[in-house]
Chains A and B, each alone.
Chain A
């Protein structure tokens, strides 16, 4: 088993657990992507579907784990990727089913009929914006600087060929320093997305917008810090990989798995933070005087947001604590296409220069 396969297997297990918990830790006025008035947050259909989702997702996670164990230390990387895709698709299916069941009752009983529906903005969010935790970017930068220094020191002593797994490539600045490009790419992209997230609008509950904004600021701070620590951990895994590539570190057998350890640790910490931030937001008091707007018509399946009248690019996701793009905004499409185009472009460049 290689480090990449271990990371793949761990990701399957982590996402299995995350998808069991994630959709259940939302604010009481959001259930399976549907806006729910406070007095219906514990309606029989909501309670039933929450319980059913829990059991179904636990079953899916156990089946995925059983398949991984049955495959035992498989060598190719594709089985864990395939299992991950099936697992996520199955959980999404269960989510969609619960969404449909609650939507039917909500519509039949007219949960929002005759209610005053408002949206609220707190101008202090713009006059005193939440500062981006730039200091927490330092560990990631330090890891990249360390990688560059080691690379420069080692480059004159590298052999004619570099061995990467089963591949052998001619040593050149491009092939030796591709790892640094990878670190810079991941760090730049993730930091850019986090900066966008810090500028996006908070989703405030109308019952107590001030308390809602305070809890949002806290959750956002925790998310930002955990995101930057995850970045440092991923960069550290790339550094360990580079140390092997440059023959500084010689890991054999199971010791190879150490390479994936920082990234996996960072991912566990990050997912735990997302769930705990979601739980903290879920505890936000939603009073009976809440006048939230029923904006379900813009949420396809409770997950995808499409609103042509809304100028925002990023909106708060309705599941756990996170963000999603407004596909009604052309800039959001540019962002999605850009995010997809860059990795594809990098693969093309890699093939073109043969590294």
Chain B
């Protein structure tokens, strides 16, 4: 998995780490059970403080995407194959999506164009099934 961040960008680094890992999970690059690097190692590899990495991992843990154990470290806890999201998550996400779509509409993008972008992005996420190769490779 490649993690690319902008250290001098406007988005906080921990948020960027969280976003990149969510994208990797959706793309099937980090299926359920796959481990992520230890916070100190990832801190060294990106040249940032390990507390920042910790903060990013903690966001993912709160969202139920990561499990953080003392021995196993950070492990991906759910992906596309893990069934529907927990109750209440969808409402929360719809609220954020609303803002994103409102931004596009306010900037003058037509509805078809917006839907076209959405379809293109979703097509980029490799569909993973329970017997799929992505899950098999990780175990």
A181 within 8 A of B: no
- A116, A201, A210 pick with most chain B CB within 10 angstroms: A201
**Assembly CA distance A33 to B50 (angstroms):** 27
Q: List 20 A-B contacts (CB under 8 A).
A: A118-B4, A119-B4, A119-B5, A119-B46, A121-B2, A121-B46, A122-B45, A123-B2, A123-B36, A123-B37, A125-B45, A126-B42, A127-B37, A201-B44, A201-B45, A307-B47, A309-B47, A309-B48, A311-B43, A312-B47
Contact flags (1/0) for B1-16 with A, using CB distance below 8 Å? 1111111100000000
A56 — which chain B residues lie within 8 A by C-beta?
none
Q: Is the pair B40, A121 in contact by a Cβ cutoff of 8 Å?
A: no
With a cutoff of 8 Å between Cβ atoms, the chain B residues found around residue A209 in the complex are 2, 4
A121 pairs with B3, CB closer than 8 A = yes
Question: What are the 8 A-B residue pairs with the smallest beta carbon separation, nearest first?
Answer: A121-B45, A310-B47, A126-B37, A120-B4, A123-B1, A312-B44, A201-B45, A121-B3
- In this assembly, does A172 line the interface, its C-beta being within 8 Å of a C-beta of chain B? no
* CA–CA, A209 and B42, complex, Å: 16
> A201 to chain B: which residues have CB within 8 Å?
44-45, 47
A residues near B, CB below 8 A?
116-127, 200-201, 206, 209-210, 293, 307, 309-312
Contact assessment for B2 and A118 in the assembled complex, using a CB-CB cutoff below 8 Å: no
- Inter-chain CA distance A310–B47, complex, in Å, is 5
Interface status of B49 (Cβ within 8 A of chain A): yes
How many interface contacts (CB-CB < 8 Å) are there between A and B? 67
| B47 contacts across to A, CB distance below 8 A | 119, 201, 307, 309-312
| B6 neighbours in A (Cβ, 8 Å) | 116-118
Instruction: Determine the residue in chain B with the shortest Cβ distance to A294.
Output: B8
Chain A residues near B50 (CB-CB < 8 A) = 311
Give chain B's interface residues, CB within 8 Å of chain A. 1-8, 35-38, 40-50
Are B3 and A123 in contact (CB-based, < 8 A)?
yes
State the CA gap A263–B72 with chains docked (Å): 46
Q: Is the beta-carbon distance between A126 and B4 smaller than 8 angstroms?
A: no
User: Is the pair B42, A119 in contact by a Cβ cutoff of 8 Å?
Assistant: no
- Residues of the B chain whose Cβ atoms lie less than 8 Å from the Cβ of A126: 37-38, 41-42, 45
CB-CB under 8 A from A118, the residues of chain B are 4-7
List, in ascending order, chain B residues with CB within 8 A of A312's CB. 44, 47
Q: Within the complex, which residue of B8, B40, B44 is in contact with A293, where a contact is CB–CB below 8 Å?
A: B8
- In the complex, which residues of chain B have a beta carbon less than 8 angstroms from the beta carbon of A310? 47-48
Chain B residues near A127 (CB, 8 Å)? 35, 37
Give the distance in Å from the alpha carbon of A119 to the alpha carbon of B42 in the complex: 12
Which of chain B's residues have a CB closer than 8 A to the CB of A293?
Answer: 7-8
Do residues B35 and A121 form an inter-chain contact, with CB atoms below 8 A?
Answer: no
* List of A residues within 8 angstroms of B4 by Cβ: 118-120, 206, 209
- What separation, in Å, do the CA atoms of A125 and B49 have in the docked complex? 19
Q: How far is the CA of A293 from the CA of B7 in the complex (A)?
A: 8
